């Protein structure tokens, strides 16, 4: 590791110093969400955690994350006890802000550890590429924007995810990979989107004989089953005993929310919504029926069902079925070829499917694709060509999360600097593939990147100079979401071709 410069530790220190400077920056409602959770877990007995509703930001993460909040609240009591009062809604003393910001940085050390394990796990000829990929994740604009300005705790959970992926590389550590992933599900249930990849891989590579799928390894099945059931029993067992399982289900899976999250994660439904809006003025000429009740909807999907004026309505069942089908396709290959590269590819494609076709998908969920894909993006130039539009679209789509003027230069300059630096380095480090690259796809990818610059300028500044701050507010958000969706979909199609031809 000594020959790799700059090291992960050095970059973590410099990045940490920059993040400390961001303590006074904009913070979203998620800051109050987590402050409230600190108060709930500190002030109330466990039996009341998932019933408390003084604040609208009720506890809706699994029990391990609730325990994590309780653990942090023990330290918070020494910093500012007032932050732990449930009735102190919107409380944001400087001690509270600094404490919560600092905990995000400190817990991100788990990500640093996981990335160091990833670099150590690869063969020597590939260490430089693995190191570059690790630095790109550590310094990710996604984590920078979401965790350290907008405010969440994604860094350490993605560290757990990467650690589970790394442990899946060797037969001797497959069991630990399953245990860690089970624990991760008890921290944040969004990782259920990736769970089928673990299920198929562990079943095929750990529970069944590699040479004969009809020959079960009963010892391995027993160990994995006991460990995974044990993890879930620790997390959910007490709530089962108290008869609160249905209450947890209602909190963890609030299906009353609409199809599209405000404002539009860059997925298939963003493109669907854009098409619906574009068809409204054309409907009289084309003789299309118009749903008048939906004309005033901007498809924000905050609460209730999203409405479409022209196109057919989309139900939860439609999204679940499409997500399952497009996850099942790569899992077929994983079943027949249960090696690590195929596994990471399947994890990535499961992330794509859930993001592109899921119900009420958040913009932030794009990291479910970007982070596992980063681990194999430098396998060769074909992989990198599919990763490049995802990196641009995924990170640019996060810009609407920070809508304040003070943070505009931060998000723009940092993201552009990261894209220029890492896409240039990736292009230099990625080896030439054994199979020929798709020439047309490469050119379209370059065109897509070129369009991103004027689009960012228009959506961030030009629109408001032309129309003012009050008129057509949804337009730049719609353009940004639809453009980013085009990049994510294009990246998905490109990677599907690579995955099945590799």
CA 74 to chain centre: 29
N-term to C-term CA, the chain: 30
Q: Quick count: other Cβ atoms within 10 Å of Cβ 265? A: 27
The contacts of residue 359 (CB under 8 Å, 6+ apart) are 255, 257, 259, 316, 319, 320
pLDDT of 1 above 50: no
Helix (H) or strand (E) run with residue 457 in it: helix 439-457
Q: Is the pLDDT of residue 391 over 70?
A: yes
- Rounded Cα–Cα distance for residues 169 and 123 (Å): 12
Q: Token pair of 292, please? A: 């008048």
> Which 3 state secondary structure label does DSSP give 96?
helix
Q: How many residues does the chain have?
A: 502
Residue 355 binned pLDDT confidence (cut-offs 50, 70, 90): very high
- 495 and 348 housed in the same domain: yes
pLDDT band at 425 (very low <50, low <70, confident <90, very high): very high
Which residue's entry shows tokens 């990196």? 391
Measured in whole angstroms, the distance separating CA 422 from the mean position of its chain's CA atoms is 20
399/451 same-domain check: yes
Question: Is 2 domain-assigned?
Answer: no
Q: Is the pLDDT of residue 293 over 80?
A: no
Same domain, 229 and 354: no
Residues 30 and 120 in one domain: yes
**pLDDT tens by residue, 51-92:** 999 999 999 999 999 999 999 999 999 999 999 999 999 999
Q: By residue range, what is the domain housing residue 426?
A: 268-501
Distance CA 299, CA 277 (A): 10
**Torsion on CA atoms 357, 363, 366, 368, rounded to nearest 10:** -90
How many angstroms separate the Cα of 447 from the Cα of each of 444, 454, 459, 496? Answer: 5, 12, 19, 21
Which run of H or E residues covers position 214?
A: strand 212-216
pLDDT of 300 strictly over 60: no
| 56-65, 253-262, 406-415, 430-439: range with highest mean pLDDT | 56-65
* pLDDT greater at residue 436 or residue 328: 328
Q: Is 206 exposed, middle or buried (0-12, 13-18, 19+ CB in 10 A)?
A: buried
Asked which of 252, 284, 313 is the last residue of a domain, the reply is: 252
Question: Is residue 150 located within the same domain as residue 289?
Answer: no
Average the pLDDT over 386-407 and give the result: 89
Distances from the Cα of 483 to the Cαs of 143, 268, 301, 319, 390, in angstroms?
21, 11, 19, 21, 11
Q: Hunting for tokens 């990500």 — which residue is that?
A: 111
* 366 lies in the same domain as 237: no
Residue range 429-478, pLDDT digits in tens = 999 887 766 655 666 777 777 777 788 778 777 777 787 767 776 677 77
Residues with Cβ within 8 Å of 62's Cβ and at least 6 positions away in sequence, in order, are: 185, 186, 187, 188, 189, 235, 236, 248, 252
Q: 222 and 359 share a domain?
A: no
Residues 286 and 381 in one domain: yes
Q: What secondary structure does DSSP assign to 229-267, as a single string?
A: HHHHHHHHHHHHHTT-HHHHHHHH--TTS-SB-TT--SS
Are 59 and 49 within 8 A, CB to CB? Answer: yes
Q: What is the pLDDT of residue 299?
A: 45
Is residue 200 one of the residues assigned to a domain? yes
Angle of helix 63-79 versus helix 29-43 axis, rounded to 10: 90
Choosing from 223, 252, 281, the residue where a domain stops is: 252
Residue-level pLDDT at 414: 94
Banded model confidence at residue 294, pLDDT cuts 50, 70, 90: low
User: Rounded mean pLDDT of 409-438?
Assistant: 87
426: CB partners within 8 A, 6+ apart? 132, 136, 377, 378, 384, 387, 388
User: Considering the domain boundaries, does residue 244 fall inside one?
Assistant: yes
- Note whether 409 and 447 are same-domain residues: yes
Is residue 3 in some structural domain?
Answer: no
Q: Which of 429, 427, 460 is nearest to 445 (CA)?
A: 427
Please check whether residues 198 and 295 belong to one and the same domain: no
Q: How far apart are CA 41 and CA 376, in angstroms?
A: 39
Is residue 263 one of the residues assigned to a domain? no
Which pair of structure tokens corresponds to residue 210? 């590699």
pLDDT digits (tens, 9 = 90+) for 129-180: 999 999 999 999 999 999 999 999 999 999 999 999 999 999 999 999 999 9
Q: Compute and round to an integer the Cα radius of gyration of the chain.
A: 23
Whether the pLDDT of residue 304 is over 80: the answer is no
Which helix (DSSP H) or strand (DSSP E) does residue 209 occupy?
A: strand 208-209
Residue 30 lies in a domain: yes
The answer on 297 and 161 residing in a single domain is no
Q: Which residue has the higher pLDDT, 490 or 447?
A: 490
CA distances from 119 to 4, 105, 162, 260, 388 (A): 10, 21, 11, 37, 21
State how far the Cα of 32 lies from the Cα of 82, in Å rounded to an integer.
Answer: 13
Q: 357 and 322 in contact (C-beta within 8 Å)?
A: yes
Pair (79, 114) in one structural domain: yes
Given 184, 217, 252, the domain boundary residue is 252
Q: How many domains does the chain have?
A: 2
- Residue 400 in any domain: the answer is yes
pLDDT at 41 over 90: yes
Average pLDDT over the chain, rounded to whole? 89
Bridge partners, 208 (sequence order): 216
Query: With contact defined as beta carbons under 8 Å apart, do 368 and 466 qualify?
Result: no
Would residue 1 count as lying in a domain? Answer: no
CA–CA separation, 31 and 37 (whole Å): 10
Q: How far apart are CA 267 and CA 133, in angstroms?
A: 25
- Positive or negative torsion for Cα 475, 481, 484, 486: negative
How far apart CA 330 and CA 308 sit, in angstroms, is 31
């Amino acid at each position: 590791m000594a020959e790799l410069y700059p090291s992960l530790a050095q970059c973590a220190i410099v990045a940490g110093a920059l993040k400390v400077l961001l303590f006074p920056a904009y913070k979203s409602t998620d800051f109050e969400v987590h402050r409230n959770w600190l108060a709930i877990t500190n002030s109330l007995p466990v039996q009341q955690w998932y019933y408390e509703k003084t604040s609208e930001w009720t506890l809706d993460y699994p029990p391990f994350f609730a325990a994590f909040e309780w653990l942090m609240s023990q330290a918070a009591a020494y910093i500012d006890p007032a932050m732990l009062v449930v009735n102190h809604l919107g409380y944001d003393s400087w001690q509270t802000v600094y404490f919560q910001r600092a905990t995000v940085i400190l817990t991100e050390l788990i990500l640093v550890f996981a990335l160091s394990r990833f670099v150590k796990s690869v063969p020597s000829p590939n260490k430089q590429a693995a190191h570059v990929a690790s630095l790109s994740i550590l310094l990710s604009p996604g984590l920078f924007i979401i965790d350290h300005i907008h405010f969440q705790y994604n860094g350490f959970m993605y560290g757990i995810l990467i650690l589970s992926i790394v442990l899946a590389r060797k037969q001797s550590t497959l069991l630990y990979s399953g245990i860690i992933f089970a624990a991760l599900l008890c921290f944040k249930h969004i990782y259920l989107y990736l769970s089928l990849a673990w299920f198929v891989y562990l079943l095929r590579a750990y529970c069944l004989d590699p040479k004969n799928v009809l020959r079960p390894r009963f010892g391995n099945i027993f160990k994995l089953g006991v460990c995974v059931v044990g993890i879930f029993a620790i997390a959910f067992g007490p709530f089962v005993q108290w008869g609160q399982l249905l209450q947890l289900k209602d909190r963890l899976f609030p299906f009353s929310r609409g199809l599209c999250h405000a404002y539009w994660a860059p997925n298939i439904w963003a493109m669907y919504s854009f098409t619906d809006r574009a068809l409204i003025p054309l409907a009289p000429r084309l003789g299309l029926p118009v749903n008048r009740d939906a004309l005033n909807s901007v498809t924000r999907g905050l609460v209730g069902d999203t409405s479409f004026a022209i196109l057919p309505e989309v139900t939860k069942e439609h999204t679940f079925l499409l997500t399952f089908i497009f996850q099942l396709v790569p899992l077929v290959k994983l079943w027949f070829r249960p090696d690590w590269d195929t596994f990471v590819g399947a994890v990535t494609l499961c992330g794509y499917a859930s993001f592109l076709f899921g119900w009420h998908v958040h913009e932030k969920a794009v990291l479910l694709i970007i982070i596992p894909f980063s681990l194999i993006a430098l396998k060769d130039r074909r992989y990198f060509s599919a990763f490049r539009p995802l990196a641009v679209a995924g990170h640019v789509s996060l810009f609407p999360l920070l809508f304040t003027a003070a943070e505009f230069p931060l998000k723009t300059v940092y993201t552009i600097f990261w894209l220029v630096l890492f896409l240039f380095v990736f292009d230099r480090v990625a080896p030439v593939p054994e199979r020929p690259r798709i020439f047309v796809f490469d050119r379209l990818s370059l065109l897509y990147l070129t369009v991103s610059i004027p689009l960012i300028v228009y959506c961030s500044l030009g629109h408001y100079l032309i129309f003012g701050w009050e008129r057509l507010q949804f337009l730049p958000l719609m353009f940004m979401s639809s453009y980013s969706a085009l990049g994510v979909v294009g990246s998905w199609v490109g990677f599907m071709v690579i995955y099945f031809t590799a």
